[in-house]
Amino acid sequence: MRYIEPHAHMVSRVTDDYQDMVAAGCAAICEPAFWAGFDRSSPAGFYDYFCQLTEHEPRRAAKFGLPHYCWLCINPKESEDVLLATEVIGLIPKFLGRPNVLGIGEIGLNKNSRNELKVLELHVDLAARHNQLILVHTPHLEDKFKGTRLILDVLRSDPRIRPERCIIDHVEEHTIRMVLDAGFWAGMTLYPETKCTGARSVDMIEQYGSDRLWMNSACDWGVSVPLAVPYAALEMRRRGQSPDQVDKMIYQNPLKFLSQSPNFMSHCK
């Protein structure tokens, strides 16, 4: 089995996780910028985090033979302070030329507030000006449907944004259709408690097909499973999907989307 982990917060994980992922067939890891579990107090905290994502974590992953990529932004959870967010967004362009950067993410909404929407628009403008891919986080539980709709409206209202260059992550049964119908990619996040289980993700593949769709573990500092993608692949096999169908979902699809960035797997091209 080979797979790409398109969404994992490895700065919060131990080296054993890297080892297990490589042993399970992981070929590359992509790490969106995320909330640290506490609010950073200044733009300098983000500057250091962006250095960690573009310099230090790739070196740690390389010890296990794994290419490491990242996405940059200020996470929606820290977007209430628009002044702080504006300063952090101002730091990002100087990191965009680094060789493991894939785009702007995970941006989006958390509580669907006015300030979050403002900061989302700033990020979308940043991505458009620098021709970057976009990875979007959608809100949790009861806020997800409305938040996903608001996010799609922001992306569609900017004529510079092409939906095939944006992935809307954490889709569930009630949001996947609107994302795919609008031409965007969709990500299914495999969490043991919330978001989506492996079995539910395979239900959605059976219902909606496997185009413009990927699966990720989104493993972080909370309750999450770094091997969730290969476990879901086993569930696909159990449900009668062929090895080629599994390979498409966990390797070829992320490769196709991420290869829109010239940086992704550039050593293999």
Q: Which residues bind Zn ion (CB under 5 A)?
A: 218
* Terminal Cα-to-Cα distance of the chain (whole angstroms): 21
Q: Which is nearer to Zn ion, 120 or 218 (CB)?
A: 218
Tell me the residue nearest to Zn ion as measured from the CB: 218
Rounded to 10 degrees, the C-alpha dihedral 35/40/42/43 comes to: -20
Helix, strand, or coil (residue 265)? coil
Helix, strand, or coil (residue 233)? helix
d(Cα 60, Cα 51) in Å, to the nearest integer?
13
CB of 30 to Zn ion, least distance (A): 10
Q: Which is nearer to Zn ion, 102 or 218 (CB)?
A: 218
Angle between helices 82-91 and 43-51 (to 10 degrees): 30
CB of 9 to Zn ion, least distance (A): 6
Cis bond leading into 106, ω under 30°? yes
CB of 32 to Zn ion, least distance (A): 5
CB of 266 to Zn ion, least distance (A): 24
Q: Which is nearer to Zn ion, 107 or 218 (CB)?
A: 218
Q: Which is nearer to Zn ion, 85 or 246 (CB)?
A: 85
